Amino acid sequence: MARNENRSSVKGLLRVLALAVLCLALLAGCAAPLASAPRVMVTRVPLELATVSDATPAPAVPAAPAADPQNSAPLTVTLSLSPSLRADLAGSTAALAQAEDPSLRPLQRTRNILLLGTDQRELGAVGRTDTIMVLALDAPNHRAALISFPRDIYLAIPGVGYSRINTAFGFGEERQPGGGLPLLMSTIERNFGIPIDSYVRIDFSGFEDVIDALGGVDVTVDCPLDDELIYRYFETYTLEPGVYRMNGQQALYYARSRKTTNDFDRARRQQRVLLAMRNRVLDANLLPRVPALWLAMRDVVDTNLKPGDIAELAKLGATFSGSDLTGMVIRYPLVTDWTTPQGGMVQLPDLPGINAALDHIWERAPLQQTNNEERLCQ
């Protein structure tokens, strides 16, 4: 009995470590072209807006009808090779040519990976994705960008209508099992011109165990944070700027608190925690163990990345510097608060402004310096 319990404990630890390595290897490797595997690309589905006739137009934007999945056109999803994969298969010369193609926008020349966090304890359950990020890997230029989308941003969802971005996954799953991720990917591409073909989805319930298994992480707190519950986790009422060694509970609370801030600041803090986790994985020298750990984690995380992708990311991770990672949170003034006719509080996007900012993503400061440059703490 003791031997079985010990084996179970070891297996559980391996799964936690593997999960950490997967999520953070994504932030570690972008120094060379990745070993590509077949990936998903969705067809663009015409947006049906005529099903709702009583919607009130939003200020400075087209009429924003409520999403009605029962009356919308059927969701169509097809599987095909993405342009980036076709370039990879054609050889490094073609891949480099695509990266330098002046007709493409900057984030159409990168390999883009969707990173999702959900409150659903079962990854197969239908729910809302409250953490939505895109990791853009520009291998030829040895750089990466991490872009956070606010969960309440009000977008055109193909085949559905206008709704919050965090409802796209649920609409897709309700209308066609397995359609949630393709619909969310298509929503991002339709509105922001970012093609996505890979994803990683993780539940917050395993987040604490991941960080505790790493022995905690050193998180840089760059803006003061205070609320009535913070004392429970940090034995102080205000987290002043500095570097803090956080355990799983502390890091999860820091990454999710918004009692005295907002969704934009929470997204900024989530990027900092991811960066801290990446640094801890590198310090603990876990990257060489990725191929073996991968086999222990397949039922812990939902992803379409293949073992070859993970192994290649791990090999590249040691050469990746934190200064090569750019961070961006879509926030004010690129979004405006608005109340829908149904009473929902959402954020209307300035799509031209957001897309212009995305087109200049590589001109931004490294992630750890964005607060000073943009004065996000004020």
Res 359: pLDDT: 97
Rounded to two decimals, the pTM is 0.73
Under-70 pLDDT residues of the chain: 1-100, 119-128, 205-206, 287-300, 313-320, 370-378
Amino acid at 311: A
Question: Range of 110's domain?
Answer: 2-374
What pLDDT is recorded for position 336? Answer: 97
State the pLDDT at residue 254. 93
Q: What is the pLDDT of residue 375?
A: 53
Give pLDDT tens digits for 352-366: 999 999 999 999 988
Q: What's 146's DSSP letter?
A: E
Nearest to 34 by CA among 105, 82, 103, 102: 82
d(CA 340, CA 342): 5
Please write the tens of the pLDDT for every residue from 123-180: 455 556 778 999 998 888 888 899 999 999 999 999 999 999 999 999 999 999 989 9
* Predicted pLDDT at 201: 85
Query: Alpha-carbon distance 28 to 318, whole Å?
Result: 7
Which pLDDT belongs to residue 95? 52
The distance from CA 160 to its chain's CA centroid, rounded to whole angstroms, is: 22
Count of domains for the chain: 1
Tokens read off for 9: 């404990």
pLDDT of amino acid 97: 60
Q: How many CB atoms lie within 10 A of CB 73?
A: 14
CATH of the domain at 94: 3.40.630.190
pLDDT at residue 146, as a whole number: 92
Query: In the prediction, which pLDDT does 280 show?
Result: 85
